[in-house]
Amino acid sequence: MSKIAVVYWSGTGNTEAMAAAVLEEDEFEPMFSACEANLKGKKIALFGSYGWGDGEWMRSWEETCIGDGAVLACDSVICNEAPDAAAISSCKALGAALAE
C-alpha cells in the first residue's frame, strides 16, 4: 500500500471537499514553496476549485510543476465552485492514480 499526502488550501471549502474525496489533508502554503525544489521525478496530481475566472491558475500550476520536473500521475481535476458528483468521482480516480 502506498502512502500519499493530499496537500491543499481552501478558502471556501470547495477544494477541501475535493481533498476529502482524494484522501488526506494538510495546508498548502507554505508547503509548496518548501518542497518545490524536490519535485523532480516525483509523481504528483493536482486538483482544485475556483469561483471566478476560468481556472487559469491550474494551467499555471501545472506548467510550474512540470517545469520543476514533476510527473503528473493523471489529468488535473478542476471544478467551478462546489464539486459535483463527476468531480468527486474524478478525485477518487486521482487518488487511485497516485497510489499506483
Confidence of residue 4 (pLDDT cuts 50, 70, 90): low
* 44-100 pLDDT tens trace: 999 999 888 888 888 988 999 999 999 999 999 999 999 999 999 999 999 999 888
Does pLDDT of 7 surpass 80? no
pLDDT of residue 6: 74
CA dist., res. 100 & res. 85, Å (int) = 23
Does pLDDT of 1 surpass 50? no
DSSP per-residue string spanning 14-52: HHHHHHHHHS---B-TTHHHHHGGG-TT-EE--EEEESS
Confidence of residue 40 (pLDDT cuts 50, 70, 90): very high
pLDDT of residue 83: 94
Considering only the top CATH level, what class is 14-99?
alpha beta
Domain boundaries, the chain: 14-99
pLDDT of residue 92: 94
